[in-house]
A and B are shown apart, each in its own frame.
Chain A
Amino acid sequence: MKTGKLLIVIIFLIGQACLDGNNFNEAVTGKTGSITRFAVKGDYLYSLDMNQILVFEIFDNGETEQVNAVPADYGLETIIIYDETIYVGSTSALYILDISVPATPVILSKLDREEILIGGCDPVVVKDNYAYSTVKIIENRCGRLSAVSQLIVYDVSDKKNPFEVNTFPMDQPNGLGYKDNHLFVCDQGVDKIQIFDITVPTNPAYIGFVNLVDPIDLIPNGETMIVSTANDFVIYDITDVNNITRLSSIPKK
């Protein structure tokens, strides 16, 4: 009996050691919103310059050294990393880059949007084989009186050949994120966080909203979600997406 228990403890310890071994190279990076020009993976920082993706090696002492610069068109706006892949939203396109060799990102594809959807602020999130991106067209820009902002769903199962599978009109969308099968999109134009069910990724179903003035970006985190606004932030309980409740008060000093 005693031997049995000891054996279980030993097996547990070996298991833990293996897990630790697997995580040896994983840096702690926290969770970012979707609107960011910086992304860290392992020992590298990928950062957007106007028309290039800069790669910096981060050394153990915290110092950095630029080791690469991948040329692209102007208008790079947002970057996220999902698995071994970088997704970059620009004012005119979605870039997908492979970073299986971390210091040497390789552009696998660049999917240009139709001309009417060239705008600013184009965050992307990825879940499995689908990418969700918002495109914000500011009205009256360039004399266009009624341009259309959108949420766009891309099939990215073939990273060399992504394609658009669905779109939804939005007012002035900003950041977005998901928890399980629910996608949350900040829509500043109508002062709402729009909620979609993405159980069928190619056909998101609009299921509701949360009122919030000037939502900018969000970070779903387990049962809660932090949402930044133009001049503040709010924390919600999202355990039940049909009954999202505000948790936080105004931050105190």
Chain B
Amino acid sequence: MGSGVGLTFEHIWSMLKTQGKFLCVLCLAALFGCQLNPDFYNGAGVKPVYISASELSDIRNLEPQPTEKTGPILLLNNLFFMVEQKKGIHVFDVTNLSNPVKISFIKIPAVNDFSIRNNVLLADNGPHLVSIDITDIYNIVILSIESNVFKQALFPENYSGFFECADPARGIIVDWENAELTNAKCQSFN
């Protein structure tokens, strides 16, 4: 996980100053492994959805996929790119503006954001930065992966209530799903 786990008190103080209104102390405690909440909770909540290192590294072209939860967008000549959050990047041919065509999907399992320089697409994939040659949009080529450069959030955003504490050892969190919790120790207030 790299630096994401190693939050110092200086970081926490900075977070409290900027986001203290939204993140309660217990939620911050979740970052440390949730030791501060003595009340274990049983009942409805959310838990992390992890993907393994091998799933995370599965970056490739897929057939066009449905658009469900869009993210950042980019227009490059006649190609329009749109993130599908934590799944990949849709590629549309917009040569004919009244009839855009979905032509491909670049699977990047934990993507949030991306950019393009010449024929190289740069994207985050969980904590990693990946560099992909898109000269042939139907046959992308991974050029490099720079590991553990982005910190990862270990709590559900925009959620109030109990959640199963995140365990970075189990993989990269790509989502939070509803679950019946047993002995849940982490809680957040928005």
Our pick among B74, B100, B129 for the contact of A251 (Cβ within 8 Å) is B100
Which of B17, B70, B144 is in CB contact (< 8 Å) with A216?
B70
User: A residues within 8 A CB of B143?
Assistant: 61-63
Partner of A32, one of B21, B73, B77, B120: B73
B76 at the interface (CB under 8 A from A): yes
Q: How far does the alpha carbon of A216 sit from the alpha carbon of B85 in the complex, in Å?
A: 13
Instruction: Say yes or no for A141: interface residue by CB 8 A criterion.
Output: yes
Q: Can you list 5 A-B pairs with a CB-CB distance of less than 8 A?
A: A33-B72, A141-B22, A230-B70, A247-B98, A248-B97
Contacts of A252 in B (CB 8 A): 99-102
Would you list which residues of chain B between 127 and 141 have a CB under 8 Å from chain A?
129, 131-133
Kindly state the separation between the CA atoms of A231 and B83 in the bound complex, as whole angstroms. 10
Asked whether any CB of chain B lies closer than 8 Å to the CB of A82, the reply is no
- A96 to B142: give the CA distance in the assembly, Å: 33
Given the complex, which residues of A lie within 8 Å of B29, measured CB to CB?
Answer: none
- Given A56-B146, A228-B73, 14 more A-B residue pairs with CB atoms under 8 Å apart are A27-B117, A30-B76, A32-B73, A36-B113, A36-B115, A45-B122, A51-B14, A58-B117, A62-B120, A64-B129, A74-B15, A219-B73, A233-B73, A252-B101
Contact (A62, B133) CB under 8 Å given A37-B113, A233-B73: yes
Interface residue from B21, B72, B94 paired with A36 (Cβ < 8 Å)? B72
A28 interface neighbour in B68, B81, B98, B117, Cβ under 8 Å: B117
Q: Which residue of B lies closest to A236 (CB)?
A: B97
B146, A66: Cβ atoms under 8 Å?
A: yes
- Interface size (A, Cβ < 8 Å)? 57
B11 touches A217 (CB 8 A): no
A2 to B11: give the CA distance in the assembly, Å.
73
Once A31-B75, A73-B14, A75-B18 are accepted as A-B contacts, the answer to whether A232 and B67 lie under 8 Å apart by CB is: yes
Which residues of B sit under 8 angstroms from A28, Cβ to Cβ?
76, 116-118
Which residues 64-88 of B have a CB within 8 angstroms of A?
A: 64, 67-70, 72-77, 80-82
**In the bound complex, CA of A237 to CA of B98 (Å):** 10
Establish whether residues A231 and B67, one from each chain, have CB atoms under 8 Å apart when the complex forms. yes
Q: 1/0 per position for A78-100, CB-CB distance to B under 8 A? A: 00000000000011100000000
Instruction: Decide yes or no whether B176 CB sits under 8 A from chain A.
Output: no
Could you tell me which residues of chain A, from 212 to 239, have a CB within 8 Å of some CB in chain B? 216-217, 219, 221, 224, 226, 228-233, 235, 237
A66/B149 contact (C-beta < 8 A), A27-B117, A38-B114, A75-B18 known: yes
* Interface assignment of A198: CB less than 8 Å from any CB of chain B: no
Q: In the assembled complex, which residues on chain A have CB atoms less than 8 Å from the CB atom of B98?
A: 235, 247-249
Of A30, A62, A141, the contact of B75 (CB 8 Å cutoff) = A30
User: Does A38 lie within 8 Å of B113, measured CB to CB?
Assistant: yes
What residues of B have a CB within 8 angstroms of the CB of A226 in the complex? Answer: 73, 75, 80, 94
Among A56, A74, A247, which residue has its beta carbon within 8 angstroms of that of B11?
Answer: A74
**Cβ contact within 8 Å between B115 and A62:** no
Write the nearest CB–CB distance from A134 to chain B, whole angstroms: 16
- Quick check: B22 and A33 within 8 Å, CB to CB? no
State in angstroms the CA–CA spacing of A249 and B102 once bound together. 12
Are B74 and A33 in contact, with the CB atoms below 8 A? Answer: yes
Q: Does chain B have a CB within 8 A of A253? A: yes
Contact (Cβ within 8 A) B122 A58: yes
Produce 1/0 per residue, A46-60, CB < 8 A to B. Answer: 010111001010100
Residue ID in chain B nearest A74 by CB atoms: B15
B112 to A, closest residue via Cβ: A37
Q: Which residues of B contact A138 (CB under 8 A)?
A: 158
A22 cross-chain contacts in B, Cβ below 8 A: none
Q: In the complex, what distance in Å separates the CA atom of A37 from the CA atom of B68?
A: 20
B60 within 8 A of A: no
Task: Say how far B99's CB is from chain A's closest CB, in angstroms.
Answer: 6
Chain A residues positioned under 8 Å from B129 (CB to CB): 45, 47, 56, 64, 66
B73 touches A231 (CB 8 A): no
Given A28-B118, A32-B115, A62-B143: A228 touches B14 (CB 8 Å cut-off): no
